[in-house]
Structure 1
Amino acid sequence: MINRLYFTSNNKQIQQHAFEAIKEEQNTIGYYALPEQDITPVSAYCQTIPEEIRTIVVIGIGGSSLGAKAIYEFVRPVKKLKRKLYFFESTDPINITTLLSKIDLKTTHFLVISKSGTTVETFSIYKYIYSLHNDPKAYTFITDPGSPLEQYAQSIQASILHLPNNVGGRFSVLSTVGLVPLALCGIDIQALLKGAQVVKESFFNEGYLKDTLLKKAVYYAKNHAQYHINCLFAYSESLKYFCEWYVQLWGESLGKHQRHSAFHVGLTPIGLIGPKDQHSFLQLIMEGTRDKSVTFIKIEDFNDRITIPDITLPHLESLDVLNGLPFEKLINMQCDSVMEALLNEKDIPIDSIIIPKTDEENIGSLIFYYELLTSLVGELIDVNTYDQPGVEAGKIILKKKLEDNIQKLEQKNSG
């Protein structure tokens, strides 16, 4: 991947501080080590799933599902996969019913993923599906060692896999959380990790991405009060779910109280897909408040050569300029034109990421690139990148509401 910055940030002292902090974090934060992991245990587990299983279902939410979904939906259009993969992530009853209508329970294996082992959304869905298909062999549980979920899985003699130490949910896609469902579907997880490793080596071993990532992170941190909205403008429908993963990663990691002050800080993530969002959100970027930076993502090779037919339409002869043009060239011309228009505005920070082609190695690189960038920006704006107290507060309130609801039902029944 190639990252081109169209803004400058040359504070070497701050860049070096950020780099040293991230080097030190490797001793305590687990996601940094994931690119080098041995995938033999994952491959061995996958061999235990019978060939007659045609569908894999992930029951999980947030970091338990978004990363794997981003990779699956990126690779699926260009690769013949051995199994379909579905994600149950919502307590929306219509969504649950619709997804269930697409699968055959008898030929489906379910991966129930919860780091804590007590996620409300995950287990409300699991309880419903288990009531329809109560065969423990149809389920594998992925959780932290010693969690309530592990104890439950042991009690029904179901398969259990563990998350690695010190890997938070939104940074877990390159762990068992993402690798297992992806490998079961036939995605090349070794190539995925290779792509992540390329970015890691470039950053930590004086490659070109070190300078680029540090300049970008310092610019975002230095200007986060003004340019506090970060737009990811991806020119491929296959990156739609990558944008969703980025929104969770960026928002949950960077929206915090500062560690050494009482200030609230953060950078708001926006995921956009070109060219369709040229006809909506682009207007706000172009002429709205100057509070947004924009990163464009382009794919050089879409692995699809369809072209616009050489046809002249009556009264639409001016559109003959499209004739014979490959769609992959058109979409990148659209991206380049929007970038040029924004550069002409002079006061909108933009950069571009160019992905050579649609495959596992390139999405692995993009995933790890954004994890590193998130860690760097978190360090520079002085937040704990790896906790989420704001999310936990809502969970505590929900737990109290559920307990109150049970008490009301008990009082009603006893009366």
Structure 2
Amino acid sequence: MINKLYFTSLDEQVQQKAFRAIEEEQRSIGYYTLPDQDITPILSYCDSIPDMIETIAVIGIGGSSLGAKAIYEFVKPLNNLSRKLYFFESTDPINITTLLSKIDLEKTHFLVISKSGNTVETFSIYKYIYSLQNDPSAYTFITDPDSPLEKYANEINASVLHLPDNVGGRFSVLSTVGLVPLALCDIDIQALLNGAQTIKQSFFNDGYLKDTLLKKAVFYAKNHAQFHINCIFAYSETLKYFCEWYVQLWGESLGKHQRNSAFHVGLTPIGLIGPKDQHSFLQLIMEGTRDKSVTFIKIEDFHDNITISDITLPHLETLDILNGLPFSKLINMQCDSVMEALEVQGDIPLDSITIPTVNEHSIGSLIYYYELLTSLVGELIDVNTYDQPGVEAGKIILKKKLRVLKK
């Protein structure tokens, strides 16, 4: 993965302070060690699922589903996966009914994922599905040790897997939360972790990405009051759900009260897909308020060489310049052209990330890169990157409303 910055950040003292803080944080925050894990227990568990199972269904929301979905949708187009993977992550009744119409309950294994073990959305969906399929062997529950969910699973003699210590939901994709559903579909989870390991080693062992990540994080933090909107402009449809994962990671981690003041801070994440969003959001970036930074993500090798047909259309002869051009080359030319157009403006912070190809290693690298960047920015803007009190406040109100409704 290559990350090129089109802006500078020269405060080396701040960069080194942030690096030392992240080194120390590794002692207590669990996601840092996930690339090093032994996946043998996960693979052994996956081997226990009967061959007759054709579909894996995740019942979970937010960090329990977004990361696995991002990886699955990235690698699926170029892989002949053994099973289909679906995500029940909304209480929208139309969505639930539509998803159920796509699966055979007798040939589906459900992964019910809740760190706390009492997520309202997850268990409203689970209760409905359980009324249709009440065989405990059709379910595996992934939760924290001794949670209410583990106690329930033990009561019905269902399988239970645990989350690692001190791994928050939105940082959990490289744990059992993401690795289990992906491995059950024959996605190479070791390659995924190897990609993350590449970024980890580069950052913590003075590799090529250490300087880049530190400069980028310091720039975002020092300029967060002005450039408080951070856009990812990803030039591949395979990255659509990665953008959704990034929006949760960035927004839920960085939108906080500062630890040592009463100020509200945060950087607003926006996920865009090129070239289609060139025809919508690009105008706002180009000529709108200068409050946005943009990261372009493109893929070097799509493993698909289809080309534009070499034909002339009456009255459209000027478009013959497209004839014979591979679509993979066209989409990257579109990306480069937009970057150049924005660079000419001179007052929009830009950087670009080039992914070598579409595989597990690449997406593992990208995920760990953004987790590290989030931790660095959180440290520099003085917030607790790993809690989400704003989300919890809404959950408390909902449960009060539900109790009133039942009276």
Shorter-chain TM-score range: over 0.9
Residues in 2 aligned to 1:316 and 1:309: alpha-carbon distance in whole angstroms: 14
Aligned to 1:410: none
Corresponding pairs, count = 407
User: Partner of 2:140: helix, strand, or coil?
Assistant: strand
Match of 1:308 in 2: 308
The amino acid across from 1:389 in the alignment is P
In 2, distance between residues paired with 1:71 and 1:385?
23
- Residue aligned with 2:85, SS: strand
C-alpha distance in structure 1 between counterparts of 2:140 and 2:16, whole Å: 44
Is 1:154 equivalent to 2:154 in the alignment? yes
Cα deviation for residue 27 of structure 1 reads 0.2
Deviation at 1:178, TM superposition (A): 0.1
1:217 deviation in Å?
0.0
SS of the counterpart of 2:345? coil
Q: Which residue in 2 is equivalent to 1:201?
A: 201
Query: Match of 1:327?
Result: 327
State TM-score, norm by structure 2. 1.00
The one-letter code of the counterpart of 1:212 is T
Once the two structures are TM-superposed, the CA of residue 10 in structure 1 deviates from its matched residue by 1.2
Shift >4 Å, 4+ stretches: none
1:284 aligns with 2:284: yes
Question: How far apart are the structure 1 equivalents of 2:186 and 2:298?
Answer: 25
Q: State the partner residue of 2:121.
A: 121
Letter in 1 for 2:121: E
SS at match of 2:44: helix
Q: Deviations over 1:125-169 (max 9, x none)?
A: 000000000000000000000000000000000000000000000
d(CA) in 2 for partners of 1:65, 1:71:
10
Distance 2:52 2:321 in 1: 51
Instruction: String of CA shifts for 1:97-134, please: whole Å, max 9, x gaps.
Output: 00000000000000000000000000000000000000
Partners in 2 of 1:159 and 1:146 — Cα distance?
A: 14
Q: Determine if the alignment matches structure 1 residue 293 to structure 2 residue 320.
A: no
Partner of residue 10, structure 2: 10
Q: Which letter does structure 1 place at the counterpart of 2:243?
A: C
Cα distance in 2 between the residues matched to 1:329 and 1:128: 47
For residues 66 and 10 of structure 2, what CA distance do their matches in structure 1 show? 34
Q: Which residues of 2 match residues 369-384 of structure 1 at below 5 A? A: 369-384=369-384
Cα distance in 2 for residues equivalent to 1:45 and 1:345? 54
Q: What percentage of residue pairs aligned between the two structures are identical?
A: 82
2:386 aligned counterpart, secondary structure: coil
Partner of 1:233: 233
Give the root-mean-square deviation of aligned CA atoms: 0.2
Partner of 2:176: 176
- Counterpart CA distance in 1 for 2:358 and 2:150 is 37
- Superposition map of 1:10-409 within 5 A: 10-407=10-407
Aligned equivalents of 1:106, 1:326: Cα separation in 2: 44
**Whole-Å separation in 2 of the counterparts to 1:101 and 1:17:** 53
One-letter amino acid matched to 1:402: L
Aligned to 2:314, what secondary structure does the other structure show?
Answer: coil
Q: Give the drift of 1:400.
A: 0.1
CA distance in 1, matches of 2:51, 2:307: 38
Name the aligned partner's letter for residue 191 of structure 2.
A
SS in 2 for 1:298: strand
Write the distance in 2 (CA, Å) between the matches of 1:301 and 1:5.
Answer: 21
Secondary structure of 1:164 counterpart: coil
The DSSP-based 3-state class of the residue aligned with 1:341 is helix
User: Aligned partners of 1:287, 1:78: CA distance in 2, in Å?
Assistant: 37
Q: Distance in 2 between matches of 1:203 and 1:75?
A: 25
Shift of 1:89: 0.2
Q: Which amino acid aligns with 2:302?
A: F
Task: Tell me which amino acid in the other structure corresponds to 2:286.
Answer: M
User: SS of 1:344's equivalent?
Assistant: helix
Give the Cα–Cα distance (whole angstroms) in 2 for the partners of residues 201 and 32 of structure 1: 11
Q: Runs of 5+ in structure 1 lacking a partner? A: 408-415
Structure 2 gaps, min length 5: none
1:293 CA displacement: 0.0
Task: Note the C-alpha offset of 1:346.
Answer: 0.2
Q: Within 2, Cα distance between the matches of 1:85 and 1:301?
A: 25
- Using the size of structure 1 for normalisation, the TM-score is 0.98
CA offsets, 1:289-332, max 9 Å, x none?
Answer: 00000000000001111000100001100000000000000000
- Residue 359 of structure 1 deviates from its aligned partner by 0.1
Alpha-carbon distance between aligned partners in 2 of 1:94 and 1:362, rounded to the nearest angstrom = 34
Q: Distance in 2 between matches of 1:175 and 1:303?
A: 29
The residue type paired with residue 392 of structure 2 is: E
Partner Cα separation in structure 2 for residue 165 and residue 109 of structure 1: 26
Counterpart code for 1:345: Q
Q: CA separation in 2, counterparts of 1:66 and 1:228?
A: 24
1:34-66 alpha-carbon deviations (Å, 9 max, x no partner): 000000000000000000000000000000000
User: Per-residue displacement from partner, 1:204-259 (whole Å, max 9, x unpaired)?
Assistant: 00001000000000000000000000000000000000000000000000000000
CA distance in 1, matches of 2:8, 2:26: 28
Q: Distance in 2 between matches of 1:117 and 1:183?
A: 23
